[in-house]
Structure 1
């Protein structure tokens, strides 16, 4: 329960989404931590170490930059040091509250947006991680695609919409976040779908391949085999909407190097070019709904094939060799803990109590 000196991450996210200018988010973490991963629109006063040692002078000297007519939400790593910061602000006349759970709490926020270009699809956004998942619904039935590990989010959403979850699927074996797919499917006693190539050592899944369909109400959701980001990546065609996973993003494409060394990355980039070439053959007005976002602000996030061909440089490349070299020469930093996350999602390691912390940090699943 939230006290009168705390504010929940869900409320912070909702108010920022609504453009609430009366909320000022003050992050007191160290500058390097803030620059690596932060709440969009927040402000940084790097006094974490000082506050940890009981020194409040640095924060007090920075208060001139904090508007005194706004409600201030203080943020730290786990919501402890931010409580001290909020108290300092209250002692100086500010209306200040500490965001519960800090950035760890922020990573657990989920927001649902109905896709206006598709009657069947709801996009579920995690603003703290850059992850997107989906609920495909029709006729009282629902398919969950790329579930986060907090499975109650999808169960609650289905309940509020009077839907029965009839299937769960992943577009691939994720390397950036723990999948809740198998747990959700087990809880609902429904199939969990994944391409066999990405299943590795999993024993609770139903293999799907190119051309298979998953029935959801009157919809036949078609499986498209789109390897490259992983060797078993698939996309889901839902009428005129494409759930593209980590194959195709709005401004980039999936990176091909998270399964091995340079030879694997080159092979993956080659496969990815062919997969993108196949997606380019879809109708121009097909709406691409990706598995991640970076700093795009539009919600729900999506773009047509026609738009992406004109504006996504990598998707618009015509020459395979140039595409492969472009991908390999400018790969970003690897996602934090990606090897362990991948091991959990492929059945090689069991998720433990620290599973939530493995996901913390910026998303780096896109190329370039």
Structure 2
């Protein structure tokens, strides 16, 4: 088994982004494989549970391609090694995804969204969770927005670039993944920002975003304007960078809006979301580039692997961006959420509120599974 080929999550992602076809043999149980899987435009996903291979039924193998490398995936990597061994015995080209779906869940990939003489804007994509975080860099200084639990990703990025992290912010209190914002601020000596509407009553040490309408990053007068955009959560905040880039958190996605039901006040928060669209988002120009904190579908990803869309394009795709009236919007937004809530979201919220501490192993377990923070309305 030690001679089996291994492929890392980074290598698989690079293969997918290069446009080369990938064949994934998912040997987890059928429910897990259906609920959460590796996705890509040129990717073939073949779910066959591990236990089916114990019978060594040759019909299972005949359904697999002989002319392409088959990447075998399981939860942590062990079952995949057994199945890959069976494939190689029969002359198939096989490789094992190192760390399985848990390893895939931890992958973060940085990509430059925009760069000019005054600043660089970097999007850090976490493809397994559909999570997106950002580094705004200017004159050797940086602000990190919506950092994930794996703070080492940002520390390594800062060292390689190099830049000093002076500001860290969360657009809202996340429910589908553990925020690394407070931890990253503590490790770097940066100021940690979140709105009082999210953090009051938590005991968290933070700077209220509503008290900082302008946050400057570096000496180049890069301005980040904090815009209250409640609706997904009461204190959700978006950032408008240089009047051109909207870091929208979970308020506006490429193909949807933030779901207003996670706090158990769907109609009330849907009403807040309506006010956000009418009073804040709709005053911005069509040319503003929307950069959300999540994406829910591979089709939202651009050819270069980044997730972004012009606000004008989003308005054309999403009828809810220009609601006819308040009541119909509330009915639609509050009643349209049909997906399950994020797995373990109560425990994750408690962690992000500072009320619960978990070790890294438990943190990784809590984050397994897809993102479910959006209400989608494309046409």
Question: What's the TM-score once normalised by structure 1's chain length?
Answer: 0.93
Deviates more, 1:206-215 or 1:24-33: 206-215
Whether 2:361 is the aligned partner of 1:358: answer no
Q: Contact 2:114–2:120 (CA<8 Å) still a contact in 1? A: no
Shift of residue 190, structure 1, vs aligned partner: 0.9
State whether residues 247 and 276 of structure 1, in contact with CA within 8 Å, keep that contact through their aligned partners in structure 2. Answer: no
Instruction: Check the 8 A contact 1:248/1:276 in 2, yes or no.
Output: no
Q: How does 1:1-368 map to 2 (within 5 A)?
A: 5-21=5-21, 23-40=22-39, 41-51=43-53, 55-58=54-57, 60-116=58-114, 120-199=120-199, 200-209=201-210, 212-217=213-218, 218=220, 219-239=222-242, 240-260=244-264, 264-277=265-278, 278-295=280-297, 296-298=300-302, 299-331=305-337, 332-352=339-359, 353-368=361-376
**CA separation in 2, counterparts of 1:363 and 1:36?**
11
Unaligned runs of 5+ in 2: none
Question: Following the alignment from structure 2 to structure 1, what is the Cα–Cα distance between the partners of residues 47 and 195?
Answer: 46
Structure 1 stretches (4+) deviating beyond 3 angstroms?
Answer: 116-119
Query: Deviation of residue 269 (structure 1)?
Result: 0.4
CA separation in 2, counterparts of 1:74 and 1:175?
Answer: 31
- Equivalent-residue separation in structure 1 for 2:324 and 2:124 (angstroms): 33
Report the number of matched residues.
Answer: 359
Range with greater deviation from structure 2 (220-229 or 290-299): 290-299
Gaps in structure 1 of 5+ consecutive residues: none
- Alignment partners' CA distance in 2, 1:327 and 1:85: 45
Question: Alpha-carbon deviations, 1:30-55, whole Å to 9, x = none?
Answer: 2221111111124223222345xxx1
C-alpha spacing 1:65/1:116, structure 2 compared with 1 (3 Å): farther
Closer, same or farther: CA 3–165 of 1 in aligned 2, 3 Å? farther
Shift of 1:122: 1.1
The Cα of 1:117 is off from its aligned counterpart by: 7.8
CA distance in 1, matches of 2:301, 2:252: 18
SS at 1:209 equivalent: helix
Q: Secondary structure at the match of 1:232?
A: coil
Give the secondary-structure state (helix, strand or coil) at the position aligned to 1:153. helix
Q: Secondary structure at the match of 1:227?
A: coil
Aligned to 2:319, the other structure's residue is in SS state coil
Q: Match of 2:374, SS? A: coil
CA distance in 1, matches of 2:115, 2:277: 22
- Structure 1 residues 3 and 228, CA, compared in 2 at 3 Å: closer, same or farther? farther
Displacement of 1:62:
2.1
Cα deviations by residue, 1:280-303 (Å, 9 ceiling, x for unpaired): 101221111011111123132111
Change (3 A) 1:4 1:92: closer
- CA shift, 1:56, in A, is 4.5
Alpha-carbon distance in structure 1 between the residues aligned to 2:355 and 2:3: 41
Instruction: State the SS of the aligned residue for 1:275.
Output: helix
